[in-house]
Amino acid sequence: MPELPDIVVYLEALEVRILGERLERVRLASPFVLRTVAPPIESVAGKTVRSLRRIGKRIAIGLEDDTWLLMHLMIAGRLHWRPTVGAGLVPARHGHPQGMPLGETPLMATGLPRRALAAFDFPKGSLVLTEAGSRKRASLHVVRGGEALQTLDPGGLEVLDAKLEAFTARLTSENHTLKRALTDPHLFSGIGNAYSDEILHRAQLSPAALTGRLKQEEIERLYEATLQTLREWTENLRRETGNDFPEKVTAFRPGMAVHGKFGEPCPRCGAKVQRIRYADNETNYCARCQTGGKLLADRSLSRLLKQDWPRTLEELESLSKK
Highest CATH level, class, for 159-320: mainly alpha
Among 62-71, 152-161, 175-184, the minimum mean pLDDT is found in 175-184
CA-to-CA distance for 51 and 225, rounded, in angstroms? 30
DSSP annotation of 44: G
Query: For 234-290, how does the pLDDT look when each residue is reduced to its tens digit (9 = 90+)?
Result: 999 999 999 999 999 999 999 999 999 999 999 999 999 999 876 567 899 999 999
Report, as an integer, the average pLDDT of 5-24: 98
Q: Which sequence spans correspond to the domains of the chain?
A: 4-150, 159-320
- pLDDT classification of 306: cutoffs 50, 70, 90: very low
The answer to whether 13 and 20 are in contact (CB under 8 A) is no
Predicted confidence at residue 88, as pLDDT, reads 39
Q: How far is CA 285 from CA 192, 276, 277, 312, in A?
A: 15, 9, 12, 13
Residue-level pLDDT at 299: 45
Q: Classify 4-150 by CATH class.
A: alpha beta
